[in-house]
Amino acid sequence: MNNGFVRVAAAIPELRVADCAFNVARIADLVHKGEEEKVQVICFPELCVTGYTCADLFQQQQLLADAQKALSELQLLTFSTTSVIIVGMPVRIESHLFNSAVVLQGGHILGVVPKTHLPNNNEFYEKRWFSSGALVDTPTISLFGESVPFGIDLLFSDGKFTFGIEICEDLWVPIPPSSQQTLHGAEIIFNLSATNELIGKHQYLRQLIEQQSARCNAGYVYASAGAGESTTDVVYAGNGLIAENGKIISSSERFSFEPQLIVNDIDIDRLQAERLRNTNFANDKSSIVYRTLQIEEAHFTRFELKGTFDKYPFVPPVFTRDESCHEIFSIQIGGLAKRWQHTKSETAVIGISGGLDSTLALLVSVKTADKLGIDRKKVIGITMPGFGTTDRTYTNAVNFMKSLGITMLEISIKEACIQHFKDIDHDPKIHDVIYENTQARERTQILMDIANKYKGIVIGTGDLSEMALGWSTYNGDHMSMYAVNSGVPKTLVRYLVDWAAHELDTTSKEILQDILETPVSPELLPADGNGDIAQKTEHIVGPYELHDFFLYYMVRFGFSPAKILLLAKNAFADSYSDEVIEKWLRIFIHRFFAQQFKRSCIPDGPKVGSINLSPRGDWRMPSDATSFEF
């Protein structure tokens, strides 16, 4: 494997019905092409050696002899290759004929897997020619004078990953063989198929493969018969599909008359991580005893990844934007609404800075008030200018609160902080952590006391990314009575605010657009000579788009720093140098471990996506754990 990835291929060769010699020559061509692309396992369609549509020709001795001779020729043609090859052909055992998958590597036959479920409907009459592999109790067969493992109980492994095989109809039954194969260790399923085309069938097929790969936490490689098949009654399109854990990651061009090789990399580490998290995964394991046959590890264990990884794994795709944003807001609103009602609070108190996080939290608070039928004036927004507050953020904060029609308060923290500096004998000219944290804690004190005064709850504004980095002042902005953004990472905060801007009136939209363009900052240090923000968060801790990427793969899948670095270099190749990515990854890991003590006592907040850092649920970690090295 290459950093946990296995390169696989679905191959759709040129084919002539009943011309076995021609077919294996074309199969060999694609095998050699796959070898050039460093494919480790390549799967061909069902009965591709003979053609699927041979019908009663399957009962002709000549065709069966030709098929066996062609298999021998394929062994010679692929003797020098290291890829594992899976081809479909009829295999005769005494008085029975089996629709089978033959597995070869380096010219040697490793095993033969027969089809379990045979269709017998208006289009396909396989039971006319073939027997089910489920009826066979012979563990081996003789091919070319050698004893070869045979049966539906075969798995194949190189010690680092394991795969299983099912054939066409096997996938369409209520409990496919692949379900048990994955429960017994197979991470990838290869399906040799011959699926004809009908209106709507292709979409259903894609959904079926996606669902099976998701249900099994597996990779799924599907290779179906192409245009070379007989079109006497039905038409074949050459479906080559590769799925990983519920998502199609590669597909062929349907109805093409050209041979095709669909190649992609399946992340075995990710699949294994999913299974580790799913402690019920093997509960329904059957009593079948599978035999795992050894394959040789491919000699090309280093290759550039085929796929490009999404820079923003937390951000929903554009085509589901409205639906996704509505759902996220609904989760946040639902959580706050319950807390507001349960505490019998009369108001919701929130500090408004003119930044992204407090803007999203305010939107959630207002929408919650609307949902509960509470006057928006019961939402109390407080702007608390300090030593670093700029005109830009102050103006945006005030104007946005006005546009939403909430109660607005302005309480400067400057005099209180100056008095505090005197009390603790700190020179305010020294702009250190004391200078910064004094302001953050003074703001939190004001929010808490105003909430007491107006019988309210303090709404937290901190987001998931800040929690991961520990970018908050302990018992300052770290604390609230309900943290509505705690499950939303910074990249998603920006996405939600941008979406909300298009849902509001023109004035509010303009304000939100300027907030989106404002650099992220806690504004705890004085502005520069031009009155602009001097303290920019991403200059200090690094780009949030990188940190959200690191967070996703570290927490969601438990990937090692080396694996995360590989993926980040792939995703951000056009944005950052390898050295910059590695620098910020080291900082992320250090801060993630060092700042756990803050996460161990965070307020309640709604989980929005697949990742959360609440110590009461998703993330439980000792505060004094040693950080990973790489």
Question: Which of 27, 107, 108, 20 is CA-nearest to residue 67?
Answer: 20
Q: Give residue 301's pLDDT.
A: 63
pLDDT at 233: 87
Residue 354 has a pLDDT of: 95
SS3 477: coil
**Sequence-separated (6 or more) residues with CB below 8 Å from residue 34:** 9, 11, 42, 83, 261, 263
Give the span between the Cα atoms of 432 and 289, in whole angstroms.
66
- 46 part of the active site: yes
In this prediction, residues 444-460 reach a mean pLDDT of 98
Which segment of 327-341, 427-441, 616-630 scores lowest on mean pLDDT? Answer: 616-630
Beta bridge partners of 97: 92
CATH architecture of 5-294: 4-Layer Sandwich (3.60)
pLDDT value, residue 451: 98
Cβ 2 vs Cβ 35: under 8 Å? no
Q: What is the mean pLDDT of residues 457-469?
A: 97
pLDDT at 356 over 70: yes
Dihedral over Cα of 436, 439, 440, 442: its sign: positive
Distances (CA, A) of 519 to 35, 478, 532, 533, 543: 49, 21, 10, 8, 11
> Mean pLDDT throughout 493-509?
91
Task: Strands of 44-123 (E only): list them.
Answer: 84-93, 96-105, 108-114
Hey, CA dihedral for 464, 465, 470, 475, is it positive or negative? negative
Instruction: Pick the closest to residue 179 from 212, 222, 211 (CA basis).
Output: 212
Q: Considering 54, 168, 216, 417, which one is annotated as catalytic?
A: 168
Residues above pLDDT 70, as percent of the chain: 99
Average pLDDT (295-301) is 78
The pLDDT value given to residue 117:
95
Name the catalytic one among 14, 48, 115, 417. 115
Under 8 Å between Cβ of 465 and 547: yes
Read off the pLDDT band of 434 (50, 70, 90): very high
Q: CA 139, CA 206: separation in Å to the nearest integer?
A: 34
Which fold is adopted by the domain 318-536? Rossmann fold (3.40.50)
* pLDDT at residue 300 in the model: 64
The full DSSP string for 490-517 is HHHHHHHHHHHHTTS-HHHHHHHHHHHH
Residue 531 has a pLDDT of 82
pLDDT at 123 over 70: no
Question: What number is the average pLDDT over the span 189-195?
Answer: 96
What does each C-alpha distance from 404 to 157, 408, 458 come to in angstroms?
Answer: 61, 10, 18
User: What does R_g of the chain's alpha carbons equal in angstroms?
Assistant: 31
Please report which residue ranges of 305-425 form alpha helices under DSSP H. 321-342, 356-372, 391-404, 414-423
* pLDDT score recorded for residue 525: 87
Spell out where 158-216 has E strands. 162-167, 188-193
pLDDT given at position 536: 84
Average confidence (pLDDT) over 249-254: 96
Sheet holding 5-12, edge to edge: 108-114, 96-105, 84-93, 41-43, 5-12, 260-267
Q: How far is CA 55 from CA 18, 45, 116, in A?
A: 10, 16, 19
Q: Which of 257, 187, 250 is nearest to 222 (CA)?
A: 250
To the query of whether residue 187 is one of the catalytic residues in this protein, the response is no
- pLDDT score of 494: 96
CA–CA separation, 16 and 525 (whole Å): 75
What pLDDT, in 10s, does the model give residues 82-97?
A: 999 999 999 999 889 9
Q: Which of 455, 452, 479 is nearest to 467 (CA)?
A: 479
pLDDT of residue 218: 98
The tens digit of pLDDT for each residue in 305-351 reads 888 899 999 999 999 999 999 999 999 999 999 999 999 999 999 99
Q: Does residue 529 carry a pLDDT above 90?
A: no
CB 115 within 8 A of CB 97: no
Residue type, 203: Q
**What residues contact 285, with CB distance under 8 A and at least 6 apart?**
180, 183, 184
Tell me the DSSP string of 140-164. EEEETTEEEEBSTTEEEE-SS-EEE
Residue 122's pLDDT band (boundaries 50, 70, 90)?
A: low
Average pLDDT, the chain: 94
Q: Which two tokens stand for residue 466?
A: 């800040």
pLDDT at site 532: 82
- Which residues partner with 85 through β-bridges? 42, 104
Measured in degrees and rounded to the nearest 5, phi and psi for residue 176 equal -65, 150
Q: How far apart are CA 242 and CA 264, in angstroms?
A: 7
Encoded tokens for 34: 């796959």
Average pLDDT over residues 228-233: 90
Quick check: helix, strand or coil at residue 561? helix
**pLDDT given for residue 166 in this prediction:** 98
pTM: 0.90
Please say if the pLDDT value at position 304 is more than 70: yes
CA distance 330 to 616: 22
Beta strands, E only, 471-580? 482-483
Q: CA of 357: how far to CAs of 437, 491, 516, in Å?
A: 18, 11, 10
Cβ atoms of 302 and 2 within 8 Å: the answer is yes
What is the DSSP track for 253-265? PTT-SS-EEEEEE
Q: CB atoms < 10 A from the CB of 464, how many?
A: 28
Q: Of the listed 14, 46, 187, 229, which one is catalytic?
A: 46
Cβ-Cβ contacts under 8 Å for 241 (sequence gap 6 or more): 10, 205, 206, 209, 220, 221, 222, 248, 250, 251, 252, 262
Q: Does the active-site annotation cover 115? A: yes
The pair of three-digit structure tokens given for residue 188, joined into one six-digit string: 């990838």
Q: What is the pLDDT of residue 247?
A: 96
Residue extents of the structural domains in the chain: 5-294, 318-536
